Structure 1
Amino acid sequence: MDVWYLIVAIILFASILVAKSTRKTKKNLPPGPPRLPIIGNLHQLGSKPHRSMFKLSEKNGPLMSLKLGNVSTVVASTPETVKDVLKTFDVDCCSRPYSTYAARLSYNRNDLSFSPYSKYWRELRKLTVIDTAKRVKSFGHIREEEVASFVDFIRQSASLEKQVNFNLKFMKLSASVICRLGFGMSLEGSKLEITYDEVIQGIMEVLGSFAAADFFPIIGKLIDRLTGLHGKCEKVFQAMDTFFDEAIKCHLDDESIKDDIIALLLKMERGEIGLGEFQLSRNHTKGILLDILVAGIDTSAQTATWVMTHLISNPRVMNKVQTEVREVVKNKDNITEDDIEQLKYLKMVIKETLRINPLVLLLIPREASKDLKIRGYDIPKNTWIYVNVWAIHRNPNIWKDPGAFIPERFVDNEIDYKGLNFELLAFGSGRRMCPGMGVGMALVHLTLVNLLYRFDWKLPEGMETRDVDLEESYGLVCPKKIPLELIPVITKRT
């Protein structure tokens, strides 16, 4: 019997066993599509829930109710409704619902991303913001060294006219930077070296999944075992945990490693430094390391990949941005932060990339901590709240010709991705906004400037720009479904 028929049979059988007649006070919930018994609207989400939710919101409104199994959910899909969630009612909407596999990967929600709103979370958030700002400025040499090594690899590939798989190589570059910056060790020779791309991608798929365990309390875990989600979670958890143990052991064995994040966390474990009133356990340390590993590596890698994808698909834009880069940098061997600051068109290109391909299509769900009323609708306590970033970025009422790649739309346009403009939410907004934005974007800018200044780019033989695939895969962070492969050509400047 097909596994899905078996799953449906299990759900129906379980529903007969647990069905109860309950009377509930009628509430003025946001409008939503009709739902099926037991599963609610889960069948309408499909493999790309961000797109499905967008279509449903076009019919049901910018604040929409869905029932996902046993979970009541609201989806915000316009800048106005999202502003209500992320700003006006931020403090009442910034906790996290319990998610089975997020809890497993974050060592029982001891991280920043999945921890519920609490005093611990507030102390950790404060530490993260301060420490991240410090590392953007203080560890520029690590970015420069790793990008220089990456450029050497590209130069070797160019001399051999060899294709470069950007999905893999950008991921390795990001992983190399984060391993040195956060873990005080080199990626090469570590237990993560061979499988880092599979592990990171697997974590993102698990964290971005709509797990049956979260929506069907009684039989959900059985369903996840049948679909393979449970097994995938355990596999990536074991690989990740082994790497964390290795990195921590390096620090315990070598006390000269002092200036990275693990060294700081170990001091907190020993009580030498406090996190407010909290003393960290080993699971706290590992939970925090999850955020560094995942957010630090995947976000910058995917952003750079999507930028190069859109540039190779749009020769006019590629020519324009390379002209700008080469006029600003000229014949310098070393590219500086001051050079990057002058690259206005490149910044527009990156903004437009983040608009068309936001890093997180659906922000990690929030949970209403009390009964709320938003836009005249009742949002009961414990409702899950999704923010559909993809819908906002593709809204034709906000963006003219939203499916087209037009960086010039940001000329004389102050909209930015730093959390103050609800039309562009690549990193979220409010209390839960991504604190690692500065670290990730610093690497993206430096990498792209080097690639655009030092090399020209062409597609593999037989491919035209119209053949470049622009489809995304779904996960917590949105990767390109088909890897981008380009051939570098050394310019006379290198």
Structure 2
Amino acid sequence: MKLLADLIFDSPPLSLFFTIVSLFLLYTFTKKNYSRNNTHLPPHPPKLPFVGNLFQIGSLPHQSLNSLSLKYGPLMLVYLGETPYLIVSSSDMAEAVMRTYDLNFASRPPSAASDILLAGDMAFGPYGRIWRQMRKICTTHLLSSKNIHSYKTMKEEEIGYMMQEIKNQASLSNGVAVDMSKILYSFANNIICRVVSGKCFRDEGRSDLFRELIEENVAILGAFSISDLFPSLACMEGIFGLSGKSKKHKIRWDKLLDEMIELHVQRRVCGQDSDIHEDFVDVLLSLEKDPEIGSNLRMENIKGLLLDMFAAGTDTTYIALEWAMSELVKNPNIMTKLQYEVRRMVGQNKMVTLKEATKMPYLQAVVKETLRLHPPGPLLLPRQSMEECNINGYTIPKGIRVLVNFWAIGRETKSWETPYEFKPERFIGSEVDYKGTDFQFIPFGAGRRICPGMNFAASTVELALANLIHQFDWELPYGMTADDFDMKEASGLTTRKKEALRLIPSVKLQLMDKF
């Protein structure tokens, strides 16, 4: 999310806009206000006219909202401009929203940016028949257990490429720290590109284009829009909002996706796909002709689903790996313990396979602890109530937007001992998992809106991390201590490290060219 203050001060048109907006202040006192109409609403911090609680939200909203919830409770209202949001900051309240009243909160609120950029997609689409069809397509034809297993060789090949890239850069850098953020991002993107489109774009020099497009997605979808904050001023969205930027970005994505789809169409027409593994684009094109599905699967749906896969699939994997490696170099005793498990099980002269990674409990505990302390999406994607309901004695109005703050839930003292400490041992012997039934640990969400790609992402992170730890020893840049190591988060829809992860790898085992 982008700070409103930053928008105002950095943009002369927005300064003019807020001068004009002052004329609307009288109107805001007469429009519908939930807190005046209902005395049983959840508590909320004092707010200013028109702007609400915007100036209490810093550049890292999940942290600002957590601080407010500690004072006003785990079920709290905040007003972002004119728009009220229900903030959920405890496992109990999350269970009420995502289990007890899951159907009621299964929809997404409209958003100026996502409505343009992701029209017809699954992640941001409203709940209903079309959304259920899109989700079924993803879970059945891309992210089922059978399909995830079929990606085994592909994942292992890409990890082989990454290991060789690290080895090459370590040799060339002669002891200078390597930019692991860039390497991890390329790895995550290459895997998802191969799964979705049948090939990665490493050899075409287009990896940088994908990264640019995905990072712009994060920036646009994580920013406030004028019409989202001030619905009464939606007519000004085209002048001062994100609509123009979203449309330009959409054109760039359309060009890339149209080209990708056309190549698949031509391949099918020419009968060149008989010996080629069917990818997600092929599946979508074949389903477009299905009499039961095709009527709901328009080209905008196909593009929306592809964009979902590229963006979410890349970011989740990359961010989890970046934070896992950061915590391991900051906690060398944990690194040593993990290396012992991996190297003892696998041996000296081979790479870790997916089957072996699934048998490493400490590896899985490290990944889970990373997701608890550094969730890629600290504020789960917003929901919207479809009907009025009652939670914990409070009336929750119809149409209110809901944000579940998993960053806060992952630090809840009643659920986690020493919650700010990176301690994988807490998951050893524990049945707590990320499948959506343990509400103190929901990095992928829960209920109808749980992320369908969680098993794909988690298995990819486990396999990549096992090989990184197995094949190399890792050190901080020369002269840097664990206390100096920067663990600050970047602002945005997802929480990457603010500073790129730079580490010194040293090869301790012989790399194999192939599995």
Q: Indicate the percent of aligned positions where both proteins have the same amino acid.
A: 35
Structure 1 counterpart of 2:265: 252
The AA in structure 1 aligned to 2:62 is H
- Corresponding residue number in structure 2 for 1:264: 283
Is 1:467 equivalent to 2:498 in the alignment?
no
1:442 has 2:459 as partner: yes
* Aligned-partner Cα distance in 2 for 1:293–1:225: 30
With over 3 angstroms needed to count, the CA separation of the structure-2 counterparts of 1:428 and 1:186, relative to structure 1, is: same
Assess if the C-alpha contact under 8 Å between 1:205 and 1:474 holds in 2: no
**Structure 1 residue 70, shift from structure 2 partner:** 2.4
Q: 2:31 & 2:196 partners in 1: Cα distance?
A: 53
Q: Deviations over 1:362-381 (max 9, x none)?
A: 11110100111111110111
1:293 & 1:274 partners in 2: Cα distance? 26
TM-score, with length taken from structure 2: 0.90
Any gaps of 5 or more consecutive residues in structure 1? none
Deviation at 1:52, TM superposition (A): 0.9
| Structure 2 match to 1:170 | 184
Provide the secondary structure at the position in 2 that maps to 1:187.
coil
Which residue of the other structure, out of 392, 402, 409, is the alignment partner of 2:426? 409
Other-structure match for 2:171: 159
SS at match of 2:208: coil
Correspondence for 1:60: 72
Q: Give 5+ residue unaligned stretches, structure 2.
A: 1-7
What is the distance in 1 between the residues matched to 2:102 and 2:440?
17
SS of corresponding position for 1:174: helix
Please give the alpha-carbon distance, in whole angstroms, between the structure 2 residues aligned to 1:393 and 1:41: 24
Residue 22 of structure 1 and its aligned partner are, at CA, apart by 5.5
Structure 2 CA distance, aligned partners of 1:235 and 1:136? Answer: 34
Q: Which of 377, 389, 393 is 1:360 aligned to?
A: 377
Matching of residues 64-143 of structure 1 within 5 Å: 64-107=76-119, 110-131=120-141, 132-133=143-144, 134-143=146-155
8 Å contact from structure 2 (residues 413, 419) kept in 1: yes
For residues 225 and 305 of structure 1, the distance between their equivalents in structure 2, rounded to whole angstroms, comes to 38
Deviations 1:48-94 (A, max 9, x none): 11111111111111100122222222111000000000000000011
1:15-414 correspondence runs (5 A):
15-16=25-26, 20=30, 25-107=37-119, 110-131=120-141, 132-133=143-144, 134-160=146-172, 161=174, 162-188=176-202, 192-219=206-233, 222=236, 229-230=242-243, 232-255=245-268, 256-257=272-273, 259-269=278-288, 271-272=289-290, 274-275=292-293, 278-414=295-431
Q: Distance in 1 between matches of 2:382 and 2:28?
A: 27
Evaluate the alpha carbon distance shift between residue 273 and residue 298 of structure 1 in structure 2; reply closer, same or farther with a 3 A threshold: farther
Q: Which amino acid aligns with 2:106?
A: C
One-letter amino acid of the structure 2 residue matched with residue 116 of structure 1:
P
Question: Are 1:199 and 1:240, in contact at CA under 8 Å, matched by a contact in 2?
Answer: yes
Question: What is the number of residues matched between the two proteins?
Answer: 489
| Distance change >3 Å, CA 154–CA 357, structure 1 → 2 | same
What is the CA–CA distance in structure 1 between the aligned matches of 2:360 and 2:220, rounded to whole Å? 37
1:458 and 2:470 correspond: no
For residue 92 of structure 1, give the secondary structure of its aligned residue in structure 2.
coil
Per-residue deviation, 1:462: 1.8
What is aligned with 2:21? Answer: 11
Contact 2:348–2:509 (CA under 8 A) maintained in structure 1: no
| Cα distance change, pair 313–367 in 1 and its aligned pair in 2 (3 A) | same
Provide, for residues 174-210 of structure 1, a one-character-per-residue CA deviation record: whole Å limited to 9, x for no partner: 1111111101232135584232222212211221223
Alpha carbons 1:182, 1:260 under 8 Å: kept: yes
Report the CA distance between 1:297 and its aligned residue.
Answer: 0.7
Q: Which amino acid aligns with 1:365?
A: P
Asked if 1 retains the 8 angstrom alpha-carbon contact of 2:156 and 2:353, the reply is no
Matches of 1:321 and 1:225, distance apart in 2: 53
1:331 shift after superposition: 2.8
SS of the residue corresponding to residue 488 of structure 1 reads: strand
Cα drift, residue 246 of structure 1: 1.6
2-structure distance, mates of 1:95, 1:22: 23
Counterparts in 2 of 1:225 and 1:402: CA distance versus 1, 3 Å = farther
| Whole-Å separation in 2 of the counterparts to 1:56 and 1:360 | 19
